[in-house]
A = this chain, B = another copy of it.
Amino acid sequence: MAIRLATTNDRDAIWAILEPMLRRGETYSLPREMTREQALDFWFASGHETFVCEADTKAGVILGTYFLRANQSGGGAHVANCGYVTAHGAEGQGIARAMCLHSLARAKERGFRAMQFNFVVSTNERAVKLWLSLGFEVVGRLPGAFEHPGRGFVDAVVMYRALL
């Protein structure tokens, strides 16, 4: 697979990835009813550097997408934040891992000193395990902070990794 900057030509492919994630409502604290325009405006927001992960074998097939941004401004602008989504049905192929590794390298290149995930839903065990394997630590636990559509109020965790 190859990871490259997203362009406006990728909007359809990115929406095809974001929509099922939003509608399931199990992993991101975003409105489940978000429209295509709202979702793409957020994904391509000012200050977001947006990437796609393309299959090697089939050019034009987008398997995942992520954004990189500063998590805070002012005195907090040296800490990066990312959001990653793998295409539904493409899980288990290392796409999220590849995107995270890419984002860590890109964040270092841009001079960020650390990366923080503000809100990892604790029931998203695959993600928590993956971030732990990539050097992130759980530095905070938000009790009942996420209302999971199937499991009710569950914890979210804050994860952090130095880049230096």
Contacts and interface: CB of A to CB of B under 8 A. Distances in A.
Contacts of A25: 74-75
Contacts of A160: 142-143, 145
A153 B164 CA distance: 13
A156 interface: yes
A31 interface: yes
Contact of A116 (B31, B79, B145): B145
A144 B119 CA distance: 19
Contacts of A149: 75
A116 B118 CA distance: 12
The dominant DSSP class at the A interface is: strand
Contacts of A36: none
Contact of A139 (B119, B141, B153): B141
Interface string A121-161: 10000000000000000011111111111000100101010
B79 A145 contact: yes
A156 B32 CA distance: 31
B162 A114 contact: no
Contacts of A78: 147, 153
Nearest to A160: B142
A146 B139 CA distance: 15
A145 B72 CA distance: 9
Given A143-B139, A160-B142, A73 B113 contact: no
